Amino acid sequence: MGNKLLLSIQQQIEQAITILKQGGIVAFPTDTVYGLGAGISIGRAVERVYQVKKRPRSMALPLLLSDKSQIGEVAQPVPQVAWLLADKFLPGALTIVLFKSESVPDIVSGRGKTIAIRIPDHAVPLALAQGVGTPIVGTSANLSGKPSPLTADDVRAQLGGKIDLIIDGGRCPGGKESTIVDLTGETPVILREGAISREELQRVCPNIVFKEGG
């Protein structure tokens, strides 16, 4: 039974990679909640993510990477502290905010200068990003303002037939969101404390601080 399920998921992943390469959008399980993905270089696909989620175009879309080597492709410059944090916490529940490189289309960044990136600790999104050959958009597969989905059925209930494929990988663990750290200034700033604590971050980056008022 387990082998059949594994094969089924692998087939779904292969189908999803084809869809993403052709400009479609797919939902998939991650180490936190179900995500909604698109290839970052296909503008119409990214536009559909905004439309389906009813998400304001000014809100940047986070990116999921398959490997730390891709950080330098989507961000410029990459400070030394980013590599230190990535080596310690990625793949995992850390999202880092950096200045985007010219390779990232403005539609992905909400026409802003920064981008949020993460390498999830989950085989499905890693396989998708690796298969597509570029980072993928990795926002939660929900309507903006609605609960983040933990199952494929949750995704269907909110997004229905508006997306091209839902990879059913069972229930996501949910729980705490990723910790977000802004590395665009001289001092690293914790924008949101999630699964990775301030104390854990301080062991790697002693001068890290909380966002004022956060």
What are the residue boundaries of the structural domains of the chain, listed by start?
A: 2-210
Secondary structure element (H or E) that encloses residue 115, with its range: strand 114-118
- Structure confidence at residue 2 as a pLDDT band (50, 70, 90): very low
Residue pair 97/184 in contact (Cβ under 8 Å)? The answer is: yes
CA proximity to 60, closest of 49, 72, 45, 76: 49
Q: How far is CA 126 from each of CA 65, 134, 183, 196, 197, rounded to the nearest angstrom?
A: 7, 11, 23, 20, 24
Residue 4 has pLDDT above 60, yes or no: no
Q: What is the mean pLDDT of the chain?
A: 93
- Rg of the chain over Cα atoms, rounded to whole angstroms, equals 17
Tell me how far apart the alpha carbons of residues 68 and 71 are, in angstroms, rounded to a whole number. 6
For the chain, what percent of residues have pLDDT higher than 70?
Answer: 96
- In DSSP terms, 165 is beta-bridged to 26
- Which position has the higher pLDDT, 54 or 212? 54
Does the pLDDT of residue 3 top 70, yes or no? no
- pLDDT tens digits, 61-118: 999 999 999 999 999 999 999 999 999 999 999 999 999 999 999 999 999 999 999 9
pTM above 0.85, yes or no: yes
Q: Which CATH number fits domain 2-210: 2.70.70.10, 3.20.20.140, 3.90.870.10, 3.30.43.10?
A: 3.90.870.10
Residue 158, CA distances (Å) to 53, 169, 176 in order: 9, 17, 21
User: For residues 174 and 162, which has the higher predicted lDDT (pLDDT)?
Assistant: 162
Average pLDDT over residues 201-210: 95
pLDDT at res. 5: 52
pLDDT tens, residue by residue, 14-56 = 999 999 999 999 999 999 899 999 999 999 999 999 999 999 9
Q: What is the structure's pLDDT at 8?
A: 87
